[in-house]
Chain A
């Protein structure tokens, strides 16, 4: 188990991944990647809507920051896997919740390059849980 994963577990944080893809696609995705997280499907996007994750505009999806980031990743040898046609305009996000369903923090992607690092997430978890406890 890598150290970052341990850090999330040490904070009693369980990571769950949600996708709007159909479960059958997610099975193939998980077979490919073997992510050590629970992966759930929300094909109707009701959870996405509940968390106010809207579709991005063309300008957001094709922002200069996104293009630069992907260009860099391609140069590093990244490869794209094909899981069929999907909605590239749907935004994603990261949310920390407590047992009551309160959202302790949220990060809604403003463009495809807008995703916090694991280290940043850990810092935010520490910040909001400290605030909650005080």
Chain B
């Protein structure tokens, strides 16, 4: 039970609901826990991500101005 995402979050937008699924929301501003800036950099196209068909996916191709990547915990 613990760690499981939950469904049917009522009266929320799709995005809010989605964020609540992989875990629950927390009322703490993002970024407090990780002080960033230009110190962390990722080689986007070196990541071996695949799409749902198993084909190699490039994060660079998904960009507009910025990319928000949400890493899930386990599915449930």
Interface residue tally of chain B, by bracket?
35 or more
Query: Is there an interface contact between B6 and A62, defined as CB atoms closer than 8 Å?
Result: no
Query: Is B71 within 8 A of A39, CB to CB?
Result: no
- List B residues 41-73 near A (Cβ within 8 Å): 41-44, 46-54, 57, 59-60, 62-73
Q: Which chain A positions have C-beta within 8 A of B36? A: 103-106, 128
- Given the complex, which residues of B lie within 8 Å of A61, measured CB to CB? 2-3
B72 touches A30 (CB 8 A): no
Contact sample, A vs B, 13 pairs, CB 8 Å cutoff: A5-B15, A12-B65, A17-B18, A18-B70, A21-B72, A37-B18, A78-B6, A79-B8, A88-B3, A98-B67, A105-B30, A107-B31, A127-B31
Which B positions have Cβ atoms within 8 angstroms of A? 1-10, 13-16, 18-20, 22-31, 33-34, 36, 38, 40-44, 46-54, 57, 59-60, 62-76
Interface residues of A (CB under 8 A from B): 2-5, 8, 11-21, 23, 25-27, 29-30, 33, 35-44, 46-48, 50-51, 53, 61-62, 66-67, 69-70, 73-74, 76-83, 86-88, 90-121, 123-125, 127-129
